[in-house]
Amino acid sequence: MSSPFDESKFNEDVFSAPSFKERERIIEEKRKMFEESESEEFKRNKQKMLDKLKETREASRSTPPETESYVEEVTEIPDDKIEKPQTPEQAKNEEEDEESEDEILTIDEIESLVEQAMEHKAVGNEYYKEGLWEAAIGEYTKALQVCPKSSNSRAVFYGNRAACWRNLLEYEKTIEDCTKALKYDEKYERVLLRRADAYERLEKLSEALEDYKKILEINPQSKLARKSVQSLPQQIQVKQEREKEEMMGKLKEVGNSLLGLVGLSLDNFQFNQDPNTGGYSVNFQNN
């Protein structure tokens, strides 16, 4: 039997990895581990989990503060709301309803819909704890479908779903959901951090740098953001130089292919820069 999913240890291992390749190795290793063990263990523990949640349901009416776990926590979860997990493909088919316009709702109707959304979120959080990220995605998607568009709780639903996409190495989708979350809460530090990390993995370093700068504005004590703001400019410069060399190489290939038609190449031309004007002169050399 596998040990429970330790979110804090998992996140610490990922973010302290010395390279993107090592981060992806850690995530992939954890994903494979759950693929081998999740079904049987989750079935064994599911009823026990539901019994425990049922006992705490009334206590949770006092609305305790959310914990600092990697996904936002809700403890209340009616036992009749547990449904068969959705796959990402099934969830994707329903996503078109997420951003549809609200009907005119009464306050009671809004509160009822938010409560339903929170129930789906609670189920998603339990799936997430078990490492069942695809099932969690389905529940967070359901939460988004029923939650009124005027509710800022949608920021948490999108943020939690983004965490699942990240663990599945779906970085473009991670960025997409983080961006949606930030429309509801532009100072959502955890989501900004998640999006910056995804940008880095896709080598979109300039975008990552901007997010880390925003994090520092929100939380000047963030060590990770401060370190990244200091290190990324040099990485960006190196990346730009590499891209410049690659571009010049391609241009040279095109130029040589055209000049080759008349028996010449770019090597027949010498470019000299005028130190006073910064302009260039071209001299032809017949080799």
Is there a domain that residue 145 lies in?
yes
**What pLDDT is recorded for position 197?**
96
Is residue 248 over pLDDT 80?
A: no
Is there a domain that residue 34 lies in?
yes
Nearest to 196 by CA among 213, 220, 173, 221: 213
* 182-223 pLDDT tens trace: 999 999 999 999 999 999 999 999 999 999 999 999 999 999
* List of E strands, the chain: 269-273, 280-284
Residues 6 or more apart in contact with residue 249 via CB below 8 angstroms: none
Is residue 101 over pLDDT 50?
A: yes
Are 259 and 265 contacting, i.e. CB atoms less than 8 angstroms apart?
yes
**What pLDDT is recorded for position 60?**
40
Between 242 and 73, the more confident residue is 242
Question: Rounded CA gap, 76 and 67, in Å?
Answer: 14
Helix (H, G, I), strand (E, B) or coil at 119: helix
Alpha helices in 131-186 (DSSP H): 133-146, 153-167, 171-184
* 251-287 pLDDT tens trace: 666 555 665 655 566 565 566 666 776 665 656 566 5
Is there a domain that residue 50 lies in?
yes
Is there a domain that residue 280 lies in?
no
Are 49 and 33 contacting, i.e. CB atoms less than 8 angstroms apart?
no
Question: Rounded CA gap, 262 and 118, in Å?
Answer: 72
State what percent of residues in the chain have pLDDT above 90. 43
Is residue 102 over pLDDT 60?
A: no
- Residue 65: which domain range? 7-185
Residue 33 buriedness (CB in 10 A; 0-12 / 13-18 / 19+): middle
Number of domains present in the structure of the chain: 1
Is there a domain that residue 36 lies in?
yes
Which position has the token pair 């990220």?
133
Is there a domain that residue 156 lies in?
yes
pLDDT band at 45 (very low <50, low <70, confident <90, very high): low
Is there a domain that residue 172 lies in?
yes
Query: What is the number of other CB atoms lying within 10 angstroms of the CB of residue 169?
Result: 15
CATH code assigned at 165: 1.25.40.10
Between 156 and 272, the more confident residue is 156
Are 192 and 208 contacting, i.e. CB atoms less than 8 angstroms apart?
no
**What pLDDT is recorded for position 69?**
47
**What pLDDT is recorded for position 75?**
35
Which position has the token pair 């983004």?
162
Is there a domain that residue 284 lies in?
no
